Structure 1
């Protein structure tokens, strides 16, 4: 399918954004769109001036704005190279539905959640690195440059549970018109989200004291008129308080209690949180005692008591945990006081599924009605539930009995949500009890939702009565508003669309809420930063060790990056003049490593800076390295003078200084110095007088071993090593030379040249 044409009326002036929600079980790509805020005509005082850009689905018709692949991206922790093939269908889908002309200006985000948080930092970095590389190489979507966040900046990263909560809070209030209107004093909705592993809360506290203000995060958005709105939001998460992990903790506790009180005749653990008669086998993961039997899988049999399940699961809230920072809700985690007469909450994910898919009670929450439906379901015989479930499947309608009552009579059956499967039916009693306990005993939402105190059994009645008094229900579960699903990905796109509104003078650019975290030690939210080797990554690791007055926030720039750049610049200034010496040293070290078994030495002294070294001593490695440094810092700035070679000869026992300044020599004739060498052969000792040829140097330079070669190819075949003689001033060959050494020219003495 070709991408849509940019001349399509629906496409005119439309911008896009792409989010890949990389979860634990799969990755879902969602395409959003909005009209370019810069092209809108905003009349002062109009309703449009005080609204946010309208974010819609990224396709005009159908559900092709969403696609998903499985499993989760975290499954590539041991095979990061497989990420490219995994992301290919998602990227292809996005490129199919976005015009190529708009691709460069379309932001793309891959934001990983729960599954990636469980990997080691090294594996996190490897997976994100491969994802970043693939998205950059195979598309032209707008992706951030490398930063402390990662190789693709904020475009490819792992978000915390708190960030999910903040983005979800934006989405809820955007859809419920919580940001609309000229007055910025209106109350916003709180946000509750429960998944399998954790649950989050995000809300804007009222009457915040000075202590709580330190725990709030600024969420800034820009309305169509250019006006910036700012809300201070509290957000936190409870790990292990999602439905799946809560069930694991519950099973461990139930088996522990069973093993303490069990008798030999007992073999099945009674479980009030399973429908009556249902038997399943589960292995304890948490809270199991130390004996081996208790760690084995146990059979649990449902007794079908919702009230009993409420009592058993309440202890999992851990309300008795120490609270170092009062007030606390669950597990000793501080949460500012909530005024439920003003603050109203919307729950998504499991809050919606457990209320709507089985009980049909999604929307305004009434505990009395909810408790009645849950009690009836739990007490039903499991055999009857499965019989109805099979009948529904045969009718191409998944579910259980799905009874709908009106005035005490069953008027409809089989109305459970089409996505209900056996696993949902098995765990529905537990999940219903756990959600009710989290809402009431954990968060503190009142059971009687009508502020007037009337006990009602209909959520619609509760909502109507509350609206009459100018209030909404204290809690309601939602999945969508209109045709837009409530999700944290929508909140992220609302923020991105808001960034495109033309900015007024003296306003700051909008950023993600996580970047607004106060720079205070011990703040309860910490971004996830895998160990990427970038300047930003180094800064992120050093900054916590610095005093507050030396941080980027206090100085207005990064002192860490500044010092690193200055250090690199200083090293470059020193290294550049030494580049030839460094290169030569590296090459000599390489040659020495490859020819260490063929090395030879000469009995000479080499002067440094015009001063002779001690005869017979090898050149100092330290001196060789100090020479170019001295040359760099020399105050004279003149070139070094030609170095004289000192050689001990038989004609002059004293040091004879021979100037190495080149003279014009014949390119075809070699000249020899009357020097005696002491050579040690591998098998034979021999001595003879020989000449050493010196090749003319084209320019003044230090004279070293590389300027000398033995002028006899036959002798080289038997030569294994050359050693220095420190006991004589005469250098001689100390072994009989088997092949006769031939030379083309030699000096017999000063002024005498003989050809052979």
Structure 2
């Protein structure tokens, strides 16, 4: 009788085990679909080699790019100590050596496994444009030394080049409008990203104009070094304005028309204007980046330029001598360009906003440059795995555990049945 009962129980347990196994298999197979793991972060580096200094910007973006363009953000910015690389024309090896500290810092930020695939560029602007015009051999030697230094690091160096004034302005425009999302930046789920830090007065979905400068190298005459504006010192705003007017023709363009630079018609400006680079740094030094009216701007520049050298050094102790003696000429230069070249006046001055950063990213040409260059980097497919709904996965795990328990009890029952059979035989 006991043997019969054990046999029936074992058959029930085996039935339960079989049913549980089938259920587990169904749960595992049903609703399984492809799941993409989070995109791997990629990195890129751009050296902005300007006339007064060099800065290294480290950018990052997800490997699965939006519409072929990486959603680029700034991971780090490093200011190279010392002057711009063009200042080392007579000692080019120092130009390369000056980059090492920032390159060393970059190697601590970019993961070791990704360093050799990190595209790295060096773009030079006003200082190197002028040096190339004055002495192309020295410019080539400077480029050779900075390239040699960068190539000693485990990065994918794509070369050093001089940007034209048009490229510098165009990439700056891309940067501004990318950060303001007027170029429709989206995230990976196609939901528009919103920054809580739009500049005051900014109108969403209106493309902004970018105002940038090349101090002492006005674009229309950059091809002729003999015409480069070099007015230094204080107390000479009128002299500076006169020198600028000799470089540009601000005369009338005809009846009922206004012209900007060199007799070219300048239509009235509209929308938002963002001034950055040298525009920002000069006006920031003079505390003129908080939306002051044009009358205050004029008065501040006049008062600053009226100071003698001794007084100026007392007001700004520790300031670099070269920069300090240039602020009068630079501020007058910028104001003349804005008023006579771009035709801003008391009514339109408020449309200009001076910014160093937008959405925690430095404003300049380098981000626009990086955005453009990411189009040349092949799209990396995200890692793919099989996955299913969490509730089904939990049910599958529970059923599997139940199945194993049933099998275990079945095995124990079989062992007990054999022992019972042996005991009966012995009797």
Alignment partner of 1:175 out of 166, 175, 179: 179
Distance 1:382 1:175, change over 3 A: same
In the other structure, the counterpart of 1:159 is 163
1:362 counterpart SS class: coil
1:329 counterpart SS class: coil
Distance 1:69 1:12, change over 3 A: farther
1:500 Cα deviation from its structure 2 partner: 5.1
Q: Is the 8 A contact 1:173 1:179 kept in 2?
A: yes
TM-score normalized by the length of structure 2: 0.60
1:109 Cα deviation from its structure 2 partner: 0.6
Q: Is the 8 A contact 1:348 1:479 kept in 2?
A: yes
With a CA cutoff of 8 Å and minimum separation of 6, indicate the structure with the bigger relative contact order. 2
TM-score normalized by the length of structure 1: 0.36
In the other structure, the counterpart of 2:48 is 21
Q: Is the 8 A contact 2:97 2:149 kept in 1?
A: no
Q: Is the 8 A contact 2:96 2:147 kept in 1?
A: no
Unmatched 5+ stretches in structure 1: 1-10, 41-48, 60-64, 145-154, 200-235, 252-272, 276-301, 399-419, 451-461, 463-472, 504-756
In the other structure, the counterpart of 1:512 is none
* 2:356 is the alignment partner of 1:479: yes
Distance 1:363 1:170, change over 3 A: farther
| Number of corresponding residues | 320
In the other structure, the counterpart of 1:341 is 270
* 2:15 is the alignment partner of 1:32: no
1:143 Cα deviation from its structure 2 partner: 3.5
1:179 Cα deviation from its structure 2 partner: 0.9
Alignment partner of 2:157 out of 118, 133, 143: 143
Distance 1:355 1:75, change over 3 A: closer
Q: Is the 8 A contact 2:216 2:230 kept in 1?
A: no
Matches within 5 A, 1:401-416: none
In the other structure, the counterpart of 1:147 is none
Distance 1:21 1:447, change over 3 A: same
1:74 Cα deviation from its structure 2 partner: 3.6
Alignment partner of 1:316 out of 236, 240, 246: 246
The CA distance in 1 between the partners of 2:145 and 2:306, in whole Å, is: 51
The CA distance in 1 between the partners of 2:241 and 2:105, in whole Å, is: 48
1:486 Cα deviation from its structure 2 partner: 0.8
Alignment partner of 1:431 out of 330, 334, 348: 330
Q: Is the 8 A contact 2:294 2:346 kept in 1?
A: yes
2:106 counterpart SS class: helix
In the other structure, the counterpart of 2:215 is 196
The CA distance in 2 between the partners of 1:123 and 1:311, in whole Å, is: 32
In the other structure, the counterpart of 2:126 is 114
The CA distance in 2 between the partners of 1:380 and 1:88, in whole Å, is: 39
The CA distance in 2 between the partners of 1:425 and 1:87, in whole Å, is: 25
In the other structure, the counterpart of 2:260 is 329
Unmatched 5+ stretches in structure 2: 1-37, 187-204, 381-427
Q: Is the 8 A contact 1:21 1:111 kept in 2?
A: yes
In the other structure, the counterpart of 1:96 is 108
Distance 1:115 1:384, change over 3 A: closer
1:90 Cα deviation from its structure 2 partner: 4.2
The CA distance in 2 between the partners of 1:166 and 1:78, in whole Å, is: 32
Q: Which of the pair is proportionally richer in helix?
A: 2
The CA distance in 2 between the partners of 1:143 and 1:80, in whole Å, is: 19
The CA distance in 2 between the partners of 1:241 and 1:169, in whole Å, is: 26
Alignment partner of 1:128 out of 143, 146, 153: 143
1:362 Cα deviation from its structure 2 partner: 0.5
1:366 Cα deviation from its structure 2 partner: 2.8
1:18 Cα deviation from its structure 2 partner: 0.9
| RMSD after superposition | 4.3
In the other structure, the counterpart of 1:440 is 339
The CA distance in 2 between the partners of 1:241 and 1:367, in whole Å, is: 33
* 2:282 is the alignment partner of 1:354: yes
The CA distance in 1 between the partners of 2:125 and 2:53, in whole Å, is: 11
The CA distance in 2 between the partners of 1:125 and 1:424, in whole Å, is: 26
Q: Is the 8 A contact 2:71 2:185 kept in 1?
A: no
The CA distance in 2 between the partners of 1:79 and 1:380, in whole Å, is: 36
1:93 counterpart SS class: helix
Distance 1:431 1:240, change over 3 A: farther
1:107 Cα deviation from its structure 2 partner: 0.4
Structure possessing the higher radius of gyration over alpha carbons: 1
